[in-house]
A and B are shown apart, each in its own frame.
Chain A
């Protein structure tokens, strides 16, 4: 009995001890957490770097504790600063990680409290342990954006296509628009996206069966500027689709226009050549690779479209495709005939068989199958979008693709890939169908740089819309496009295909029209619209000669003069300024010392990077010159003209000097004074 009780006590003592040890494990783990030693390291590092005793004491007094930034509007807590204590500490400028000072950016150090860390870098803000915080495990909730794709972080808030200081992101987004990703994939703020793919309702009278075969097999082999991707179609599918396309009825008015055009006599190719170069077609199109490349390559166009179709299209492109970027020129009947004669004579594929433009006899069974293939392959997404039904897209939604974790991505057969989202996205772009059998995404043939840019743009797509408080201010208000006669002219000449107005428009022209009314003189503009000439010879893209009649030019110039003005640009910059500010001689001296000559031509000499300034007084308004000189980059971020930080007086003097330049004679006069 006594012995038993002693043994029991021993067992009790030992198990109690074991129990205590087990209980101590958790508090011990708690005490030895990584961030505590990191903070102690920071403390000693700070003390060794402190410039004063007081600063050193401040480091010493720092308690070891979890630090966090609470982002109320984002409903997020970032504890990254628990380990990265030096992000806003200038004394930690070149300290080793994780203590180092954050490099200066548009948002650091100013916005740390407002934006935290995960707004840009992603990762798990709540976490206080490294693998989870950085999201390096496959199960990690939100992996950090790798540095190579960091601009994706900018795109989480900056949802516009162009984001200043984020060129990679902007390029990726532009590529996505061009490739038409949004036609098949739903992405927030692109609900209204409409692909630029042409409607196919006139294709049966435009081209032949052989050409459609070649095109469907590989569009980029036919036209290097093609935006249509390669669908890797089976020969059977190509045959069926061709029959289907030829079975589609042509709208009556277009059919009549084409028929009429085909019956017209051929024009004069030599005159057509002149018109072709004068009309600046290669500001958008390419001919054998030369040109802007935003419109189709033309060097083989006569082997893809019949002369009658080309002629009818040239006369009214917008009747064929209401959203085409091609302007409607004011060619006379004869001029358009000449132009088509030149194109059909010169721009043909001499290796192509004769029957490339021969229509085919439609087989109804094949056409029926082709119709099914057309919807099965999703062709309608780009070529026949159903208006108003933007919610049902052919492909999966892409919102939130940038926040996916590797574990929720289907790598399928691609066991060769690194298990992270960028690798998955890049492989999807390079070889979309390699993941599993039956996938339908076509290949776009992006090169490595394009893929990198597009992956950056994709990683910027978050699942949640940007909260009100974090929406960046719109860069430039979306200037209105007037209605009525002026609006119709802007539509007709497709000004927005090349020029930007506010946030809309293409980027072929270097001159946005948003403030054009404050910039140029009305009379000069009327002349320029009627007969546009080269302003900057260094640029390949030039304003086409639309042959705008005088009344239309006046209407447009007046509208620009009254609509597209910036109230911050003074009408008369010299108003209320003392006399010495108007001194053109001082201004000329500045012109020489600042080296303006390097880029601009005045009189006989000067560089040709910038526009010549010879006729400045008749072209530009003084208020604009002054506003430009004060801050050239305010009007376009990528302007190369240096911002010299001129004082008001210097800017005015330079304005006064430029205001004396009236063509060659006047330039010589001022020069003569010297």
Chain B
């Protein structure tokens, strides 16, 4: 009953210039239209137009890549408000942790969510890679995406490491001291790498600023770029690959 009375309104809405600029296709449930919806949307077009039903099953991928992505989204969502309350400077950084705890509404929740999501992201990224490895999904035609995946893992680990310094407590200070000392042990260029990372010869305010910029700008942007390539490659390589025994034939079919 309601739909009948709203039909003219909907028709008018669909006719407006604004609506047609955002939704550039019709509403009809045809194959062509479904394809158009995907093609004409930046966010959807990284996804395959068609997904096999069996790839949606939990046992097919254990949703590990999806959980990792969800963590990344959650980390951005909690990281941005945390940036509102944080100053990357020596006298302020640790005090800001205290302020989150004592004064900011739900500050502890926000910070803990960020922290646990970060731990979970590292964990699921590793499991995701193990799953891909054991399902043989690194084999052609997905060899390039495997390499992108390795880059993403490294970016994730670097994000986790740079974030570790930001609370500016003893754990952070010594953790990063030890970590950068390990980098120094690299032959020939070790000292240079350490100097470059810390912006000096010890963990100081320069290191804090560098790690902050890396954590909040450089690495997230890198993550975003490589994630886009990663998803685009999934689509180009014929969607997610599950256990190889019963799906071996379908890979060859889907491969471009």
A interface residues, Cβ below 8 angstroms from B = 26-27, 30, 66, 75, 79, 124, 126-129, 132
User: CB within 8 A of A126: which of B91, B99, B106, B109?
Assistant: B99
For residue B105, which residue of chain A has the nearest CB? A30
Contact status of A26 and B109, CB under 8 A, knowing A75-B91, A126-B95 = yes
Is there a chain A Cβ closer than 8 Å to B102's Cβ? yes
The A interface, classified by DSSP as helix, strand, loop or mixed, is loop
Is there an interface contact between B103 and A66, defined as CB atoms closer than 8 Å? yes
Instruction: List residues of chain A with CB within 8 A of the CB of B99.
Output: 126
A75's nearest neighbour on chain B, judged by CB, is B91
CB neighbours (8 Å) of A132 from chain B are 102
Rank and list the top 7 A-B pairs by shortest CB-CB distance, nearest first.
A26-B109, A128-B102, A26-B106, A126-B98, A127-B102, A30-B105, A126-B102
Within the assembled complex, what's the spacing in Å between the Cα atoms of A132 and B109? Answer: 18
What residue of chain B has the Cβ atom nearest to residue A133's Cβ? B102
Which B residues form the contact surface with A (CB < 8 A)?
91, 95, 98-99, 102-103, 105-106, 108-109
Q: Complex formed: what's the CA distance from A127 to B101 in Å?
A: 8
Other-chain contact of B102, A26, A27, A129 (Cβ < 8 Å): A129
In the bound complex, CA of A30 to CA of B100 (Å): 12
CA distance A126 to B106 in the complex (A): 16
Chain B hits for A128, CB < 8 A: 102-103
Classify the secondary structure of B's interface with A: helix
Q: List 21 A-B contacts (CB under 8 A).
A: A26-B106, A26-B108, A26-B109, A27-B105, A27-B106, A30-B105, A30-B106, A66-B103, A75-B91, A79-B102, A79-B103, A124-B98, A126-B95, A126-B98, A126-B99, A126-B102, A126-B103, A127-B102, A128-B103, A129-B102, A132-B102
With both beta carbons as reference points, the residue of chain A lying nearest to B109 in the complex is identified as A26
Task: Name the B residues within 8 Å of A66 (CB-CB).
Answer: 103
B94: nearest residue on chain A (CB-CB)? A141
Q: Which residues of B contact A79 (CB under 8 A)?
A: 102-103
Chain A residues in 8 Å Cβ range of B106:
26-27, 30
Instruction: Determine the distance from Cα of A162 to Cα of B108 in the docked complex, in whole angstroms.
Output: 45
CB distance from B220 to the nearest CB of A (A): 25
Minimum CB–CB distance for B84 against chain A, Å: 17
Q: Nearest Cβ distance between residue A406 and chain B, in whole angstroms?
A: 16
Residues from chain A with a CB closer than 8 A to the CB of B91 are 75
Q: How far is the CA of A129 from the CA of B106 in the complex (A)?
A: 14
Q: Which residues of chain A are near B108, meaning CB under 8 Å? A: 26
Chain B: CB-nearest residue to A25 = B109
Minimum C-beta distance from B102 to chain A (A): 4
**Which A residues are in CB contact (< 8 Å) with B103?**
66, 79, 126, 128
Known contacts A26-B109, A126-B103; 12 additional CB pairs below 8 A are A26-B106, A27-B105, A27-B106, A30-B105, A75-B91, A79-B103, A124-B98, A126-B99, A126-B102, A127-B98, A128-B103, A129-B102
Q: Which residue of B lies closest to A66 (CB)?
A: B103
Determine the distance from Cα of A126 to Cα of B95 in the docked complex, in whole angstroms.
Answer: 8
Which B residues are in CB contact (< 8 Å) with A26? 106, 108-109
Give the CA-CA distance A2 to B157 in the complex, in Å.
44
Taking the closest CB of chain A, its distance from the CB of B177, in whole angstroms, is 18
Nearest CB in chain A: distance from B187 CB, A? 38
Bound-complex Cα distance A635 to B108 (A): 56
Q: Which chain A residue shows the least CB distance to B92?
A: A75
Complex: A127 Cα to B109 Cα, angstroms: 17
Whole-angstrom CA separation of A79 from B95 in the bound complex: 14
What's the Cα separation between A485 and B99 when bound, in Å? 63
A27 vs B105: C-alpha distance when bound (angstroms):
8
A545–B6 alpha-carbon span in the complex (Å): 116
Report the Cα distance A30→B109, complex, angstroms. Answer: 10
Instruction: List the B side residues contacting A126 at CB < 8 Å.
Output: 95, 98-99, 102-103
- In the assembled complex, the Cα of A411 lies from the Cα of B98 at a distance in Å of 28
**Closest-CB distance, B116 to chain A (whole angstroms):** 12
B229 to chain A, nearest CB (A): 32
Minimum CB–CB distance for B66 against chain A, Å: 15
- CB contacts (< 8 Å) of A129 on chain B: these are 102
Chain A residue, CB-CB nearest to B91: A75
Cα–Cα distance between A129 and B109 once the two chains are bound (Å): 16
Q: Which residues of A contact B102 (CB under 8 A)?
A: 79, 126-129, 132
- Tell me the complex Cα distance, A124–B98, Å: 10
User: Shortest CB–CB separation between residue B57 and chain A, in angstroms?
Assistant: 12
